Amino acid sequence: MRVLVVASPLTGHVLPLVPLALALRDAGAEVLVATAGDGIASCPPELSPTDVAPGLRLGPLFGRLMLRRPLLARREMAGRGGTTGVGLLFGTLGARMADGVLAAADRHRPDLVVHESLAPTGAEAAARLGVPSVLVEGNLYDAEVLLAAALGTYRPARGLGELPPPARVLTSAPPSVVGTRAGTPVRFVPWTPDRPFDAEFSRPGPRPRVLVSRSTVASPGSDRLMRDVVAAAAGTDLDVVLVRPDRRVARRRLPPPVRTADWLPFPRVVPAAAAVVHHGGAGTVLTALAAGVPQLVVRGAGDRRTNGDLIAIRGAGVAVDPGGITPALLERLVSDPDLAAAARGVAAEIAAMPPPADVVPGLLELAGR
């Protein structure tokens, strides 16, 4: 049994696929992950990560696409682009990766293709080989809606007609946050590479700990979040930890409640925190939800505004616009019993979903094995 896993070349797109890929491998499948760029380093070596687009640089590619469409770029930066911008960006990216992915598929000869919603090349690879595909939801957006948006750009770029729909859709976003969706539920399991870290952060401290994270993808103004937290934290009785801070922030004289950490494995340290403040990326959102920890999301580009608003509507956290972080808000984040109860409720909902290992037998049946 051979499985090809296809992901866009970004850390946040590879990590959600790793637990399922490892479960398939543990069940005896020979797994190969086709990605590129940052995705290679994010993937454990036992999953045979293969660079299908050496030298591909996302920043210049995405920049050129947006420069030609200033109105769309403005909406996208404000988090109001819907699926139009993301479909254009990842449909174009998928077309750039296609030759490498298809070559890897020809070599690996998979019985099954697993791909995330913004890796449309996985759908083409499955169709070309005549094998079933499995679509995996790795964020709060509906996976089929995102895939359709990406295919809207990808298929014309590749000269393709309609492609077969996925044989199965795995959905992991908690229904109380996004509503009920069609598909096979599977638990979101946070995963991160195994690297040394200060074990102090895996235990609660004497003061409420607030982890502050920035995106794994550079974006304009990405250091503002941490600067705003530093300013708001002064005078509070919190333990505020800036994770991987921008160099300009790290060089500043920080007030006593604030310290820095170069890298922390979020799946292991978030459960010991009182709260998380972050940029609104889906991986951090879901990791905090799975841990039952309240979160403060600063609205931003792409899906970050939507993610923050969904968390706020559910009551498991707070969403603010850039510049909206205040001392009172940080204090509320760690002391509001309603936020804590809602976050724990979502965590229980996620824990009740079947783990990746439980859905693997059904995937093997799809492939006729």
- At 218 the pLDDT is 58
Question: Do 341 and 208 reside in the same domain of the chain?
Answer: yes
Q: Structural domain of residue 331, as residue ranges?
A: 199-351
Model confidence band, residue 222 (pLDDT cutoffs 50, 70, 90) = low
- Asked whether residue 357 falls in the same domain as residue 338, the answer is no
Based on the domain organization, do 249 and 320 belong to the same domain?
yes
The reply to whether 85 and 66 lie within a common domain is: yes
Q: What is the mean pLDDT of the chain?
A: 94
Q: Are 152 and 42 members of one domain? A: yes
In the chain, the number of structural domains is 2
DSSP assignment of 212-235 equals: EE--SS--TTTTHHHHHHHHHHTT
- What gap in Å lies between CA 29 and CA 150, rounded to an integer? 28
Looking at the structure, do residues 279 and 141 belong to the same domain, yes or no?
no
> For 154-196, what is each residue's pLDDT tens digit?
999 999 999 999 999 999 999 999 999 999 999 999 999 888 9
What average pLDDT does range 311-330 have in this prediction? 97
**CA end-to-end span of the chain, whole Å?**
7
Residues 213 and 304 in one domain: yes
Tell how far CA 90 is from the center of its chain.
14
pLDDT of residue 220: 56
77 pLDDT higher than 80? yes
pLDDT for the residue numbered 294: 99
CATH number of the domain at 119, please: 3.40.50.2000
| Contact indicator for 20, 134 with CB cutoff of 8 Å | no
Burial of residue 27 (CB within 10 Å: 0-12, 13-18, 19+) is middle
Residues ≥6 apart with Cβ < 8 Å to 50: 32, 33, 34, 35, 104
Question: Which residues contact residue 30 at a Cβ distance below 8 angstroms, ignoring those fewer than 6 apart?
Answer: 1, 2, 3, 108
Mean pLDDT for 324-337 is: 97
Instruction: Indicate whether 26 belongs to any domain.
Output: yes
39 occurs within a structural domain? yes
Same domain, 157 and 42: yes
Average pLDDT on 122-133 reads: 98
Assigned domain for 239 exists? yes
Least confident window among 23-32, 40-49, 74-83, 219-228: 219-228
Indicate whether this model's pTM tops 0.75. yes
What confidence tens digit (pLDDT) does each residue in 223-262 have? 789 999 999 999 899 999 999 998 778 777 899 899 999 8
- Give the pLDDT band (50/70/90) at residue 329: very high
Tell me the residue ranges of DSSP E strands in 7-131: 30-35, 49-51, 112-116
Q: Please check whether residue 194 lies inside any domain of the structure.
A: no
> Distance (Å, rounded) from C-alpha 116 to C-alpha 144?
10
